[in-house]
Structure 1
Amino acid sequence: MFLFSKNTFPGSFITNTGFLSIAITLLMINPLLAAVKLPKIFQSQMVLQRNQPIAVWGWASPGEKVSVQLNGTSESVKTAANGKWKLHLPAMKAGGPYIMEIKGKNKLTLSDVLIGDVWICGGQSNMQWRIDQTDFKEQDTAMINNTEIRLFTTYIEMDYMPQGDIKGTGWKSLSRESINEFSAVAYHFGKYLHRELNVPLGLISDNLGATSIETWMSNEALMQFPQFASEIGDIVKRGKSFQDLKADFEKQKPEWHQKYYYVGKGIEEQWFDRGTDTTGWKPIKPAGNTWEQESELKDFDGAVWFRTYFDLPEGYTGETFFLQLLQIDNYDIVWVNGEKVAESYGKHNHRNYHIPTSLLKPKDNLLTVRVFDTGGIGGFTTNAFWGNPILWGNWWYKKGHSIDPQKFLQPVVPNATPFSSPAVLFNANIAPLTPMSLKGVIWYQGEANAPRAYEYRELFPALIRDWRKHWGQPELPFLFVQLANYKEEASNPKDDDWAELREAQAMALTLPRTGMATAIDIGEAADIHPKNKQEVGRRLSLVALKVAYEREVVASGPAFKQMHITNNKAILEFDHTTGGLITRDKHGYIRGFQMAGSDRKFYWAKAVIDGQKVIVTSEQVKQPVAVRYAWSSNPGKLDLYNKAGLPAVPFRTDQWKGITSEAKFKEGPRF
């Protein structure tokens, strides 16, 4: 039956008609299962993982025999009662191209299939950033034509429950177009790696900008953390997907809508009409403005009506106009020029509406939004930074129908943002890929979690273990990029959340088969998306050669090992100094060091190389206790490298409590 947040909803909504509808739906499903079907990751031009059993899976009619042939081998299996089948072909060496045939009542043929190494390329915007968003243009035509690298980009979806399939571009061989549309970091990683390995590579770009790490973790992993268990506990217990919840809601919506929601003076008097008397309506800037910021609305629950006018861009010819209202707490109904055009439910859902231009005029289009709050804060809750000219404009509002939130019955609907809602991206975009074997993962994420850097110390290792568990590969190589330098250079030493996030990332190196590419020297102060993705990819490829392929290569810059205090000097020793320490400063100094005494106040310090060690001093600190290096969002120009040209890894010798030590995920407005 349909779910509500209260259990006191009067009457039963399950009718004979409802049961008949369900029965008809079930009857319609079986014919669809008659044809053998593969998940979308199985397509021509794909790459399958070498030297590991090859999983192939899909759907067919219950009891149907399905066989798969590839490279002279064949296996078959009988489809289970739920319409699913899965089998394993024996491990194969790198090679191809091959033909894969899948036979049941029908026959599917995949051509140009390669056996090589498959890498998932995950994270947020710095992994998502495409080649055509950087300054790089691939000029090596021979490489494009002859290199066996295949590219697959996932189209990002969300769900509460693990899904069986993804959406995406399909596998693409290299071309100028496919390269330009692909993750820049992942492409450069694959290109450098292929030069060293000369085996086919399959790169799966599965990422989304601005996302927090918890969106990419499974329900099971997050349930181990109290701050997430309280958020998703009911979701897990309910066990319903977005599709299930939407179907439930649509069946029960008419009665609930008419009786509890689509009511009040504003509806009766049609306040969405252009001729509405707006006497008494008050001005407001709604973007990022919760009701608690308006004295009249502070304790109000129910409907508040908002109005504004907007123009189409000059010369606009599109069939639809994109109206982006971002997040609204809790529900909204939207009218344009008196016509109802959209409605949404759920305070975390993003309101992205495409309005037919046939309803619009070049100028002075009336936009009316009824915002309905069911308790707590209300209004347009997304930070104004993410807004647009319509949201930033002048609006007017008027209170409408009021409710008692303790008595109002709230439907259970999908209510999530892809950027920070726990588990929704894992369920929709990672879980469907976990049956396939991988060579490894490259990961570039953390910016969104910097305000909760200490929490990241636990979340990041948990994600790594989580993915390894779901892939059934306990030591799946997991390689990541430590955050690049960003923001204005600090004039004086201070605590810093990005520095604490970098520290949290480095702590994950205690897990086996992990590796980190440091990017502290190739970022840009004014751009959170530095253009030099080529060097990031190269450094990741070095880490891959070291960790995943066990080659003797220099893959890390100098990493702090230990400190000795002698009088007023701190003497530092480092690992990964192959070839020796070097400074790029012509005078031999090293920038980026800070020093503190027992008072915990840090001052800039002088540092010089002494053989395989670094000696640090500060005129302000007579009795040193702690040293920090590159401990800032942007430590400025740095000089300390090894002879392989890799930068020293940011570090601190102290364990003093940081500024993010108490910050944890909590329910509330979030992007």
Structure 2
Amino acid sequence: MKKIALKLLCSFIVLVPMLVCGQIELPPIFSSHMVVPRNKQIPLEGKAEPRTTLTITIGSQSHTAKADKNGVWKVNLQPMAAGGPFVLQIEDDQGRELTLDNLLVGDLWLCAGQSNMQYTLNMLRYKETPDDNYDSPNLRLCSVWVDRDYLPRKDVPNAVWQEVSKETARNFSAVGYFFGKNLAREQEVPIGLISSNLGATAIETWMGMDVLKTFPQFDEVTQKVGKINKSFKTLDTEFEKFRKKWDDKYYLKGPGIEGKWYEEGYDYSNWEECTLPAFWNDFGYASHDGSMWFKRTFDLDSVQMESDFNIVLNQIDDYDRVWVNGVQIGESFGKSNFRNYSASKDILREKGNILTVRVFDVGGKGGIYTNAFWGNSILNGTWKYKKGVSIDSNRFPQPEVSNGSPFSHPMLLYNASIAPLHKLPIAGVIWYQGESNASRAVEYGSLLPAMIQDWREKWNHPKMSFLVVQLANYRQEDKTPTNSNWAELRESQMKATALENVDIVTAIDIGEANDIHPYNKKEVGRRLALLAKHYNYGDILKKGPVYKSHSLNDTSILVEFETHGGKLVSKDRYGYLRGFAIAGKNGEFKWAKAELVTTNTVKVYHENIKNPKYVRYAWSDNPGQLDLTNAEGLPAFPFRTDNFELGTSKKTYQYDPHAF
């Protein structure tokens, strides 16, 4: 899950401005090839030369807008029926024009979550099958570049709308693409998919301040952010002004800076050795605040020498400045931010490149502390180090900087990557996330529905469809029934379906024991499309069997299922069913035998358990091969009938400034 995190860090520092043509600008989410929401008034706000008059036309509509003294203009596009293509033409009274062409009017769906939503066909190394083709003229794809902020933004940093081709489809969310392809193939309504997701992220990163404030476990974060009450852009601007005096007077001082320990030719052979990543508390400097210098060498092969070289140092507490072969390649501030630098090929050599990192700690722990999960040889391993300047952290001026991990810090991704989308009406959300919250699975049962309701409120769409992917089977099969965080998380995901127009598909049968990113995203997308066709387009509901009720007798438990229009089916040639566990009043579960007894009822029993009281199904990280489906071939959902305290029931979010 965390292997793709590195690939996304670059997006946090690459910001593309509004779509610009001359002096006429539109937010990035508006561009050629997009899908405009049908039957909805669309607020359109852009910029132009101050006090100019603009004419905006699309289809049979024509609007006039006046740019104010700051160049801001606004207009509301009137509702349009599904169809297209259309051209959006904007012209000012000076003859400047901006044209968006090939627009369709239809339904927008948001594809959100963590890496299993974000994984593309290329990342999966997906191989086309004979029934695959990329002919989907009614489907459009939009990828949002995620970013972070303390406050909700008006616009996403960048968004790219594209028609479907082999290249664009293979670089889009695989789950999203297959979902959209299934919808567009059977609906006359054009479908637009907006992909805004990031691997390894916890749900709280996608939740806004308003909803987080209803949960006391987030008080430390919400109160701190509320007190700061500034955007990252404002903080960055203020910090640049602050540095004009702070650098020379306080920060860039000490023997390392004055002695130029970063220069080529500096002799550091007598420095001590340490192993990174680590805090320097771990090697005897717990009381030291100030700078610590680190050096190591690295070699490159001829292929690597052909381009600039990436230096990934992850999280550093608190500040850093980095040199390669005596040339500064970057600096960062904020203990939770991720460091991703590039060394120009012009300064590199094949052998003996010298990497120098000055780490500056202003209190508490200091160090280069986050493991390189993707096996970055530059970070992990043996380094030379030497203590630099010491400071009194109580007297050292500490500027407020934009700071927070995109993977774990509450609200940051929501503010920059979801909140700006609220002005665009959407038909619904497909959501694939939860792996990063499995250690707090019970808590997730409260967070997910709260997030759904908050998103609906912000979109002003109280019954907006919200379709969830339940976690797939993962890790090795359990030899005996046992506790499972993933099973608890699946139960929490299922609880969200108590909300109207919230539903779920399970991937309990198509996961892979050794890969947290299972290959078969095609089937996940198809199952999600089956739900969307029901909730948004009038088809009958098609989903797997769901536990409905149970009854006890002396030797077995009869479990009744809601089969959603079809009978229960066993894929086993003898009609037996795997995945069931049973327990008596002592609560000790054993794998059970199970068989179909009616079209919607399963009998579960164990020869050594008399008067059974509880039954569980697929209650495991990976329950192995399962047989129970409905006539549509859709698998039954995991469940339990007991109310025993779960292993994660007392685990809730706790703020950690050094969280990944």
Q: TM-score, normalised by structure 2?
A: 0.91
Do structure 1's residue 224 and structure 2's residue 211 form an aligned pair?
A: no
> What SS does the aligned partner of 2:406 have?
coil
Alignment-derived partner of residue 279 in structure 2: 290
Deviation digits for residues 62-99 of structure 1 (CA, Å, limit 9, x no counterpart): 65544432221233444466654433333222111112
- Cα distance in structure 1, aligned partners of 2:131 and 2:103: 22
Residue aligning to 1:588: 575
The residue that corresponds to 2:163 in the other structure is: 173
Q: Deviations over 1:575-624 (max 9, x none)?
A: 12532111111222211112223333222111111102111122453332
Shift of 1:332: 1.3
- Report the Cα distance in structure 1 between the residues aligned to 2:70 and 2:497, rounded to whole angstroms: 41
The one-letter amino acid paired with 2:279 is T
Give the counterpart letter for 1:88 in structure 2. N
Cα deviation for residue 278 of structure 1 reads: 4.0
The within-5 A match list for 1:395-544 is 395-544=383-532
Displacement of 1:244: 1.0
Q: What letter matches 2:582 in structure 1?
A: M
Q: Give the match for residue 307 of structure 1.
A: 295
2:644 aligned partner:
656
| Aligned residue in 2 for 1:111 | 101
Q: Can you list the C-alpha shifts for 1:22-78, whole angstroms capped at 9, x where unaligned?
A: xxxxxxx9xx99933211121121111122223322234565544432221233444
Distance in 2 (CA, whole Å) between partners of 1:221 and 1:87 is: 31
- Give the letter aligned to residue 460 of structure 1: L
Alignment CA distance shift 1:264-1:387 (3 Å): farther
Separation of aligned partners in 2, 1:132 and 1:339: 36
SS in 2 for 1:343: strand
In structure 2, the CA distance between the partners of 1:609 and 1:352, relative to structure 1 (3 Å rule), is: same
State the distance in 1 between where 2:194 and 2:264 align: 50
Report the AA paired with residue 214 of structure 1: E
Letter in 2 for 1:422: P
1:384 and 1:166, CA in 2 relative to 1: closer, same or farther beyond 3 A? closer
Give, in angstroms, the shift of residue 432 of structure 1. 1.8
What does the per-residue CA deviation read over 1:512-544, in whole Å, with 9 as the maximum and x for residues that have no partner? 111111111011111111111110010000010
| Larger deviation, residues 75-84 vs 613-622 | 75-84
CA distance in 1, matches of 2:582, 2:79: 55
Aligned to 1:569: 556
**2:85 equivalent among 97, 116, 131:** 97
What is the DSSP-based 3-state SS (H/G/I as helix, E as strand, rest coil) of the residue aligned with 2:566? coil
Aligned to 1:15: none
Q: Structure 1, residues 96-147: CA drift from partner, whole Å, max 9, x if none?
A: 1112222334432221111111111111111111122335455789964463
Mark the CA change 1:47 to 1:330 in structure 2 (over 3 Å): closer, same or farther: same
Q: Counterpart of 2:154?
A: 164
Amino acid at match of 1:159: D
Shift of the 315–432 alpha-carbon distance from structure 1 to 2, 3 Å rule, reads same
SS in 1 for 2:378: helix
Q: 1:5-84 to 2 correspondence within 5 Å?
A: 35-60=23-48, 64-79=52-67, 83-84=71-72
2:317 matched residue in structure 1: 329
1:153 and 2:139 equivalent? no
- What corresponds to 1:205 in structure 2? 195
1:338-361 per-position Cα deviation (integer Å, ceiling 9, x unaligned): 333221111111110001122222
For 2:237, what is the secondary structure of its paired residue? Answer: helix
Q: Which amino acid in 2 is paired with 1:522?
A: I
Q: Offset of 1:386 from its aligned partner?
A: 4.2
CA gap of 1:408–1:142, structure 2 versus 1, over 3 A, is: closer
Q: Distance in 1 between matches of 2:124 and 2:257?
A: 50
Query: Could you tell me which of 597, 617, 638 is aligned with 2:605?
Result: 617
Cα shift readout 1:201-253 (whole Å, capped 9, x = no counterpart)? 11111111111111112222222222323113232333321111111111111
Residue 237 of structure 2 corresponds to 247
1:23 corresponds to which residue? none
Letter of the 1:263 counterpart: K
- Contact 1:50-1:94 within 8 A present in 2 as well: yes
Q: 1: CA distance between counterparts of 2:128 and 2:276?
A: 45
Q: Answer whether contact 1:568 1:621 (CA < 8 A) is retained.
A: yes
Contact 1:514 1:547 in 2 (8 A): no
Cα distance in 2 for partners of 1:116, 1:563 equals 44
- CA change 1:90–1:337 in 2 (3 A) is closer
In 2: Cα distance, 1:197 partner to 1:140 partner: 23
TM-score (norm 1): 0.90
Amino acid at match of 2:103: V
8 Å Cα contact 1:34-1:61 kept in structure 2: no
Q: 1:494 is paired with a residue of what secondary structure?
A: coil
8 A Cα contact 1:215 1:421, kept in partner: yes
SS of residue in 1 equivalent to 2:561: strand
Aligned counterparts of 1:235 and 1:261: Cα–Cα separation in 2: 25
Partner of 2:201, secondary structure, is coil
SS at 1:479's partner residue?
Answer: strand
In the TM superposition, residue 315 of structure 1 has moved relative to its aligned partner by 3.3
CA distance in structure 1 between the partners assigned to 2:327 and 2:53 by the alignment: 53
CA separation in 2, counterparts of 1:607 and 1:193? Answer: 36
**What SS does structure 2 have at the residue aligned with 1:544?**
helix
**Relative to structure 1, is the Cα distance of residues 219 and 335 closer, same or farther in structure 2, using a 3 angstrom cutoff?**
same
Aligned to 2:533: 545
C-alpha distance in 2 between matches for 1:462 and 1:242: 26
Checking the alignment, whether the CA contact within 8 Å between 1:480 and 1:516 is kept in structure 2 is yes
Partners of 2:385 and 2:410 in 1: CA distance: 33
Q: Give the SS at the match of 1:351.
A: strand
State the partner residue of 2:588: 601
Alignment-derived partner of residue 320 in structure 1: 308
Inter-partner Cα distance in structure 1 for 2:650 and 2:351: 50
Q: Is the 8 A contact 2:204 2:408 kept in 1?
A: yes
- What is the root-mean-square deviation in Å for CA atoms of aligned residues? 2.4
Letter in 2 for 1:535: E
Identity %: 46
351-360 or 215-224: which moved more?
Answer: 215-224
Please say if residues 515 and 547 of structure 1, whose CA atoms lie closer than 8 Å, have aligned partners that are also in contact.
no
| Change over 3 Å in CA distance of 1:85–1:653 after alignment to 2 | farther
| Cα distance in 2, alignment partners of residues 81 and 223 from structure 1 | 37
The 8 Å contact of residues 317 and 360 in structure 2, kept in 1 or not, is answered as: yes
CA distance in 2, matches of 1:142, 1:602: 44
Give secondary structure in 2 for the equivalent of 1:390. coil
Aligned residue number for residue 183 of structure 1: 173
Distance 1:258 1:622, change over 3 A: farther
Q: 1:474, CA displacement in angstroms?
A: 1.3
Partner of 1:10: none
Deviation at 1:502, TM superposition (A): 0.9
Structure 2 residues without counterparts, runs of 5 or longer: 1-16
Q: 1:39 to 1:384 in 2, by over 3 A?
A: closer
In 2, Cα distance between the equivalents of 1:63 and 1:647? 61
State the distance in 1 between where 2:420 and 2:632 align.
40
**What is the rounded CA distance, in whole Å, between the counterparts of 2:314 and 2:515 in structure 1?**
24
Gaps of 5+ in 1: 1-28
Residues in 1 aligned to 2:67 and 2:225: alpha-carbon distance in whole angstroms: 30
